[in-house]
Structure 1
Amino acid sequence: MDATSDSKRLGAVKLSRVTFRATNRDSDPTAAKTVAAAQTPRTTSNVKPPPSEASPKPTDTKKAAPSISLSGLLAAQRMTLRLKNQAALRRKARARTPNRKPIAIINEQVPSGSANPPQRFPYSLAKELIQEFLMAKLRNVTYDPSTSGDLTKTLCEDIKKVVRRVTPPRYKLICNMAIGSRNREDVLVTSQCLWDSYSDNVTSCSFQNATMFCVATVYAVYFE
């Protein structure tokens, strides 16, 4: 019974590596070497075996790049050019139409020493009336040096009557006229005066036909 129990214990001891080495180190040296080799950690070798001729080659997993057609490239270039032109047109439109609101002048500043008429002289309307009058009076007139002086006085008086219809009150009209021949001659007519540039104004018209030319100037001077 003791031997059986001892054998059972010995078999149980064999299952434990630490107990086996402590009890059998002197008696079985080869077993100790085997156990030590078993306890040493296994190292994996980094050396790869040479590829055999029979082993299959790895297949290339890269996909082929899609081909680009010439028509698609031209269409993309046209689209890019169209978008650039549209952006340029929008920038020009924004530059032509500023976002700033116009400044409204509530009270116009009258210069010191100037008259302040309640209504200004309508020089653009007066110019249209003078132009129509000269065309109606001188359309079929032939230049004659002997009658040009009287014709000038008559036309000046008639022009003042026509312009007086649209002239505001307290304005004095002064008419100046020059008539000459169109016989290969160049004429320069100038005028100069001293007045109030804020309240006074001037308008001028010219007319010519086959034989003569006429320049009429009307000054509108305001009196308080």
Structure 2
Amino acid sequence: MDATNQSKKLAAVKLSRVTFKATNRDVEAATVKEPAGTLISRGVPNVKSPPNEASSKVKDVKKAPPPISLRGLLACQRFGMELKSRVALKRRSRSRTPNRKPIPIINEQVPAGSANPAQRFPYGQVKELIQDFLTARLKNVTYNPETSGDLTKGLCEDIKKMVRRYAPPRYKLICNLAIGSKGREDILMASQCLWDSYSDNVTSCSYQNLSMFCVVTVYAVYCE
């Protein structure tokens, strides 16, 4: 009898331990598996994860405005000023030039007592020819009073032959040439003549180097 009682007591103790452990496990599970609402009611804040720094930097870079260069602004201002000036010039030209057609002059009025040549003496073209001739001929020449007379005559003849090719018919040519030493003093040369200002003409050129100067005057007189 005593042995049976002892075995019953041992079995009861084992059952009580098992139930105690089960109840403890249930309490722990209940405490672990509490809903999120209980945490909020207890005053635990809802903490959000901080944003990624790399993503914020990318957003800042996208939102930043593009840089403005000073050269670009100056170029735009210059372009605007040039455009305004062009428009103003066009308006002025339109306002100045009338829409009327030019009146052609059929016959040029010839003064009384003047000759009327078919072609005029081309003094502009002749002046360029004489200037080029003097530059090529006297570039490396030094002044010598003993040979200056022969040099003057030779230059006059060469200039008359050259101008004769471009002068219209019935024009007589007179060439006046002066050569002198180039010093510290200034020289002024002048000429005076009586002629027909409508048909006659004149051209003059000068050249100088380190040692000498040369002045050429060519008169073209029309003879009927």
Report the TM-score when normalising by structure 2.
0.58
Task: After superposition, give the CA deviation of every residue in 1:12-48 in whole Å (9 maximum; x if it has no partner).
Answer: xxxxxxxxxxxxxxxxxxxxxxxxxxxxxxxxxxxxx
Query: Aligned runs of 1:88-103 on 2, under 5 Å?
Result: 88=88, 91-95=91-95, 97-103=97-103
- Return the offset for 1:218: 0.2
- Return the offset for 1:173: 0.1
Instruction: Give the counterpart letter for 2:182 in structure 1.
Output: R
Aligned equivalent of 2:177: 177
Rounded to whole Å, the distance in 1 between the matches of 2:93 and 2:177 is 48
- Return the offset for 1:144: 1.2
DSSP 3-state at the match of 1:158: helix
Which structure: greater helix fraction?
Answer: 2
Paired residue total: 144
Aligned equivalent of 2:198: 198
Aligned residues: CA RMSD: 2.5
Rounded to whole Å, the distance in 2 between the matches of 1:135 and 1:146 is 22
Query: Aligned runs of 1:4-153 on 2, under 5 Å?
Result: 88=88, 91-95=91-95, 97-153=97-153
Rounded to whole Å, the distance in 2 between the matches of 1:89 and 1:205 is 38
Aligned equivalent of 2:189: 189
Aligned equivalent of 2:159: 159
Structure 2 residues without counterparts, runs of 5 or longer: 1-79
Measured at CA, do residues 89 and 163 of structure 1 come closer, stay the same or move farther in structure 2, by a change above 3 Å? closer
Aligned equivalent of 1:213: 213
Aligned equivalent of 1:13: none
Rounded to whole Å, the distance in 1 between the matches of 2:187 and 2:216 is 14
Taking every aligned residue pair, what percent have the same amino acid on both sides? 75
DSSP 3-state at the match of 1:142: coil
- Return the offset for 1:162: 0.3
DSSP 3-state at the match of 2:150: helix
Measured at CA, do residues 88 and 123 of structure 1 come closer, stay the same or move farther in structure 2, by a change above 3 Å? closer
Structure 1 residues without counterparts, runs of 5 or longer: 1-80
- Return the offset for 1:100: 4.1
Task: After superposition, give the CA deviation of every residue in 1:86-137 in whole Å (9 maximum; x if it has no partner).
Answer: 8755543424544343332110011111111111111111111111111111
Instruction: Give the counterpart letter for 1:144 in structure 2.
Output: N
Rounded to whole Å, the distance in 2 between the matches of 1:157 and 1:179 is 15
Report the TM-score when normalising by structure 1.
0.58
DSSP 3-state at the match of 1:177: strand
DSSP 3-state at the match of 1:156: helix
DSSP 3-state at the match of 1:193: coil
Aligned equivalent of 1:33: none
Instruction: Give the counterpart letter for 1:154 in structure 2.
Output: G
